[in-house]
Structure 1
């Protein structure tokens, strides 16, 4: 049932019936497909030229909220969910906001693939024939199908591939933690199989502290009695921790997890004092066996 095409003209997005009431989530997704550029174009924001490529939307969250009759929070949650599922990628900067449809070609093809059909319907005045004469191109249709089939075949990246990619993009991501996280969950994003690890890197690079940070922390969190702590248990602690620098916190956690102090009293790590970790900065450097007592305690 998910094969074939349903043609929707972009004029539908301007129809009053389309925008007459708050959108459903499915309607919002279809609306994004119609609002996306079918060819490269540009617009200006405060004198700055912003280029919008095919398959991209030059819409802000505020603009979509007004269009869909949604609250700003609902729109943000919806877009974040689509991004986590690797349906879109959000690009925000101080000038503009762009939304990229990850598999745009699967929905729109190359713009040349069409189907000829005859729609005959009976009216009171007699027989009316409405023939939509379009050009069929079997060769291009096969190429598009092959391209779409290949695009969903996911191949796990190597550690070196991830390291090279995040270096090229300048992302502040630990490649080993990235690989470890997805190896532990079977290379899934949420409940869905991963389609693009590069898109996942984009998500991690934006605000890992809020979005993916808790998953990273869970991977390096000290084991209790030799077993990994449940995600829910770890996430509760993550939400309570206050006032720390993200990268430093990860470094300190790794150092503490590998220390003799952790080996002596593993339960100690799991005790929060009002959600604070007063001495965590003292674990920025790995502790040596003869200087464990000089490192201070992780908690008060």
Structure 2
């Protein structure tokens, strides 16, 4: 491929960059580089298709290879889910290929901006700096992409209630939780991992150190922990026909409140009998 694309510095301040993993950032740049600058003829769904500027047809395997060494198909799928939620792209997938469309491609890749840039470069340096500052202000007026709502505190509170620890909702913890959500995991998955790993490691002092956000929620371990928790939940449900185990932070808080209420009643009865 030939040519170039514009990459605005404002991207550094946007959530889609700040809260993305390094792999997701590589995939984002690859998408920008692969998008067509002008109309191009291609085949889509077995028929001739005109690919418009900002669009391109690819596959998960191909996009993974273009994104760099170590990028997997799963990472590509997770990144595309995240970028779709943030309104950066739309996509349509068949059995073999995916049509990706970069939303608002024309608003930051149009040729009119190139003319403005060339004219500005011929002006004195003071005027050039003034023009640049104005452009920066105009760029900041654009609507910022919104991140999906995640109740970070409730997840960490549930971890504390299950493990007896007092972890805080730090920026690093929020970033890890958000990265997992962006990869397609849900708050329900967090509840399952917390519940079952705390049960598994409850009486194992050597494993207690791993009952902390930076281990449970890490990209390295979370996928495996989720699969283990789902398998454990499925096994328990087959063995127990009663209510399913507590799996979410909300259910955990409710269970803890109910447990404390029953304890208070028990203590009250014991106090009456001692009198």
**Higher RCO (CA 8 Å, separation ≥ 6 residues):** 2
TM-score, with structure 1 as normaliser = 0.38
Which protein is richer in helix relative to its size? 2
